[in-house]
Amino acid sequence: MSNFSLSSKSEQDIAIMEPKGYINDIGAETLELASEQFLGNGIKKLIVNFSGVQFINTIGLSIFLSMVQKTLEYHSLLCFTNMKKDHREIFEMAGLMKYVKVFKDENDAFSYLNRRS
Amino acid sequence: MSVRNLHLKRLMFSIGSLIDLGQEATSSKDLSAKMKAALYVITGTLSVPTAALFVYHPVRKDLDLIIGKGTRDRNLQKIRLNAKTQHIKQFTMNDPHMLRDMADTAFFRHNQEAFAKLKAKVFLPLFAKEEFVGAITLGRKLGGIPYRQGEKDVLRIIAHQMAITLHNAHLFLELAKKAEENRRLYKNMQRIYHDTIQAFAAAIDAKDGYTKDHSYRVASYAVAIAKELGWKKKDVEGIYIAGLLHDIGKIIVDTSVIKKGQKLTAVEVNEIRKHPQVSYDILSKVKFPWKDIDFFVRHHHERIDGKGYPDALQETELSEGVKILTLVDAFDAMTTDRPYRDKLGLDETFEEVMKCCGTQFDVRITKTFFNLLLRELSGEVKRPQILPHLEHPDAGYFAETQSDSDM
C-alpha cells in the first residue's frame, strides 16, 4: 500500500501542496497532477511544503522534474519550503534547484510570492 | 559540495536508482505500472523531463509506444516507430544511441517525425537474450546539460534490466494467451462432445415418433432431482449424459416392436428387455469423463424390490443415480403419449407412481421429485426444470394430495 498522501489548497493566487510520506512510487503522481491543475486554472505561484516528506527516490525526483518542467512551460514560480538536508542534496544533484526558490517555511515563501506580481 | 563529494553522491545516487529499478522490476505491479515506474526511475536518475517506452511488435515490425512522459501531446500514444530487421541489426544491444549520430541511418530517416514529436535525443534499444524487445527514447536533460559517460553506463545497465522485465512479461503474456486458447479449445471440444451425445440421443428417440425427445426429458428431470439432492456439478453433468444415452441399446430392437400398439408377445418383451444390457455394452467401452454412466444405463429398469431387469438387483445394490433414472424414465413414459395408450394427467401419474413407491421406485427420490414439481406448480421456483417439459399439466388433485400428504 502506498505510504503517500497529499493535501492541497489555494489562497488567493497561491497554491500550497503538502505531500506526506514516501515519494517513491507512481502513486505520488497526484502531486504532479495537482500542480498541473493549479497551473491550468491560472494559479502561477506554487508552494510545496516538504515538512511531511520522509523519503524521495528517483521516481519521486522524476515527478518533481515534471513539476519543474510544467512551471517553466507556464512561466510560473515554484517554491519549496521546510526541506531537509537530504532532500536538498538530491535536488541539487539533479540540477533542479536552479529552477525553484527554496524557503525556510511557508510564511517566507508567501512573503516572497506576495511581493511578486 | 566539493567536486569529489559530488562525484561520490552521484555514484551513490546511481546505485540507489538501480536498486529502485530492481524493486520495480520484481514488484507485483502489472506490466504497465512496472514499466512506468521503471521509466520514471530513468528520468529521475538522469534529470530528463521527456521520455517514452516502446514495445517491439515482431509481426508488424514496429515499436508501439506504451508509456510517454513529459509531452503534452495526447496523440503521442498513437506513435509507432518503424523498426525493420535490417534496422535492428544496426543497433548495439542495450547501448544508448545519440540520435544526432544516427542521422544518416534509414531507421532515423523513417522515424524522424516521430522523434521530433517525442523531443527525443537518445534512442536506447532494449535486447534480452539477443532478442529485440523494445526501446526507450529520452529527451534533452534539464537545462540542456549533455549526457555524461557515467550516465550512459548507468543507462546500459538499466536497459539490460528493463529488457529482461519486458521479455519476461512477454513470455508470461504468451503463456496466458496459450492457456486461454487451450481453455477455448477445451470448451469447444466439450461442446462438440455434448452435441454428439445429444445427436445420439435424438437418433435413439427418432426410432419412434412417440418417444421423440424422451431421452432429453429424462436427462432434464434427472438433473433436476440430482440438483435438489445437492449433487456436485460434475456428477449432475454425468446423470444428464446417462439420461440422454440410457436407451441407446434400443438400436438393436426392431422398430416394429417399439412402435407396436398392441400387447407385446413374450418374444417381443424379451427383445425389448435386452436394451439396458446393450446400452451398457456400448457405453462401457467409452471412456467418459463422468463416473458410472454405463451402470446407470444398465440398471435403469431395475426396481428396489429386486424384481427389475437385467440383473434383478436389490435396493442396497442400486445407486442413487440409478434410482433417479428409474423414476424419471417411468414418469416420462406416463406423461407422454405411447402407441399403446394416451398420456396420463399429472393426477393419474402421481397415483401410479405412488402405487409403485417403495416397490419399484425409491421413496426418498420420489419425494424429492414430487416436492420439486409441487414447488414449480405453485410458482415458488424461479426457473422450473420439470414443468416446461409437461404439456398442459393438470395438477389440481395432485397439488392438493401433495399438500395433504406433506411429502
Q: What is the pLDDT along chain B (407 residues), one digit of tens a residue?
A: 666 676 677 667 767 777 777 777 677 677 778 888 888 888 998 999 999 999 999 899 999 998 888 876 666 667 899 999 999 998 998 999 999 999 999 999 999 999 999 999 999 999 998 899 999 999 999 888 899 888 888 889 888 888 988 888 778 778 888 888 999 998 888 888 888 888 888 888 877 766 778 999 999 999 999 999 999 999 999 999 999 999 999 888 888 888 787 888 899 999 999 999 999 999 998 888 899 999 999 999 999 999 999 999 999 999 999 999 999 999 999 998 877 778 888 889 999 999 999 999 999 999 999 999 999 998 898 889 898 888 655 544 445 555 444 44
Given pLDDT bands bounded at 50, 70 and 90, which one contains residue A5?
very high
**What is the least distance, in Å, from the CA of A42 to any CA of chain B?**
17
Instruction: Give the full edge-to-edge strand order of the sheet including B62-69.
Output: B80-82, B62-69, B51-57, B131-139, B120-128, B97-98
Spatial contact of A70 and A99, defined as CB atoms under 8 Å apart: no
Task: Tell me the ipTM for this assembly.
Answer: 0.91
Q: Do A57 and B20 touch (CB under 8 A)?
A: yes
Which of A65, A67, A86 is most worth mutating to test chain B (most B CB atoms within 10 A of its CB)? Answer: A65
CA atoms B79, B85, B86, B91: torsion sign: positive
For chains A and B, CB pairs below 8 A equal: 71
pLDDT value for B23? 75
- Coil, strand or helix: which one is A16? strand
Contact between residue B401 and residue B350 where contact means Cβ atoms under 8 Å apart? yes
Cβ–Cβ contact B43 with A under 8 A: yes
| For helices B149-205 and B3-25, angle between their N-to-C axes, nearest 10 degrees | 0
Which pLDDT score is estimated for B407? 42
Q: Are B17 and B41 in contact (CB under 8 A)?
A: yes
| Torsions phi, psi for B357 (to 5 deg) | -70, 125
Q: Chain A within 8 Å of B142 (Cβ-Cβ)?
A: yes
Are the Cβ atoms of B41 and A62 closer than 8 angstroms? yes
Spell out the residues 6+ positions from residue B400 whose beta carbon is closer than 8 angstroms to its own.
none
Specify the pLDDT at position B72: 65
Minimum CA–CA partner of A93 in chain B: B10
| Mutation site for B-interface testing, chosen from A2, A39, A59, A68 by largest number of B Cβ within 10 Å | A59
How many residues are listed for chain B in this entry?
Answer: 407
DSSP string, B55-98: EEETTTTEEEEEEEES---GGGGG-EEE--HHHHHTSPTT--EE
The packing angle between helices A58-73 and A29-40, to 10°, is 10
Kindly identify which residue of chain B lies nearest to residue A28, measuring between CA atoms.
Answer: B37
Q: How far apart are CA B200 and CA B211, in angstroms?
A: 14
Q: Are the beta carbons of B40 and A99 separated by less than 8 Å?
A: no
Confidence (pLDDT) at B45: 87
**How many Å lie between the alpha carbon of B43 and the closest alpha carbon of chain A?**
6
Interface probe for A, chosen from B142, B145, B158, B161 (most Cβ of A below 10 Å), is B142
The CA distance from A25 to B36, in Å, is 10
Number of neighbouring beta carbons within 10 Å of residue B90 = 12
Q: B45 vs A58: CB contact, 8 Å cut-off?
A: yes
Using the Cβ of B33 and the Cβ atoms of chain A, whether some distance falls under 8 Å is answered with: yes
CB atoms within 10 A of CB B278: 19
Say whether residue A93 is in contact with chain B using an 8 A CB cutoff: yes
- Nearest-CB residue to A59 (from B13, B44, B48): B44
- Put simply, whether B326 touches A (Cβ < 8 Å) is no
On chain B, the residues whose CB falls within 8 A of the CB of A91 are none
Task: Compare CB distances from A92 to B1, B16, B33 and report the shortest one's residue.
Answer: B1
Contact call for A90 and B41, based on CB within 8 A: no
Give A84 to chain B, closest Cα distance, Å.
16
Question: CB of B361 within 8 A of CB of B349?
Answer: no
Task: Note whether B124 and B63 are within 8 A (CB).
Answer: no
To the nearest whole Å, the CA of A108 is away from the closest chain B CA by: 25
Place of cell 486461454: B180
Q: How much of chain B is helix, strand and coil, in % rounded to 5?
A: 60, 10, 30
Phi, psi of B97 (to 5 degrees): -105, 125
Q: Amino acid letter at B298? A: R
CA distances from B77 to B52, B53, B64 (A): 10, 10, 8
Are B370 and B351 contacting, i.e. CB atoms less than 8 angstroms apart? Answer: no
CB B34 within 8 A of CB B24: yes
Q: Tell me if A60 and B44 make a contact (CB, 8 A cut-off).
A: yes
CA-to-CA distance for A55 and A84, rounded, in angstroms? 10
Contact assignment for A95 to B143 by CB distance below 8 Å: yes
Taking Cα atoms as reference points, which of A30, A34, A37 lies closest to residue A2?
A: A30
Of B247, B249, B248, B267, nearest to B257 by C-alpha is B267
Strand partners, B124: B136
**Would the CB atoms of B17 and A58 count as touching at under 8 Å?**
yes
Residues in B closer than 8 angstroms to A59, CB to CB, are: 20, 24, 37, 40-41, 44
- At B391 the pLDDT is 66
- pLDDT above 70 (res A95): yes
Q: In this complex, which of B1, B50, B145 lies closest to A95 when CB atoms are compared?
A: B145
Torsion sign across C-alpha atoms B62, B67, B73, B75 = positive
From chain A, pick out residues whose CB is under 8 angstroms from the CB of B47.
61, 65, 94-96
Q: Distance between CA A18 and CA B154 in Å, rounded? A: 32
A4 phi/psi in degrees, rounded to 5? -135, 140
| Inter-chain CB proximity A58 and B36 less than 8 Å | no
CB contact under 8 A, B9 and A93: yes
> What's the grid cell of residue A29?
503522481
**Lookup: cell for B67:** 508509456
Partner B contacted by A94 (CB < 8 A) = yes
| Count of beta carbons in the 10 Å neighbourhood of residue B199 | 11
Nearest chain A residue to B38 by CA: give it.
A59
**Rounded CA Rg of chain B:** 37
3-state helix, strand, coil in chain A (%, to 5): 45, 30, 25
The minimum CA-CA distance between A62 and chain B, rounded to whole Å, is 4
Q: Is A111 on the interface with B (CB under 8 A)?
A: no
In angstroms, the CA B229 to CA B253 distance is 34
**Rounded to an integer, what is the distance from CA B166 to the centroid of its chain?**
28
pLDDT at position B3:
65
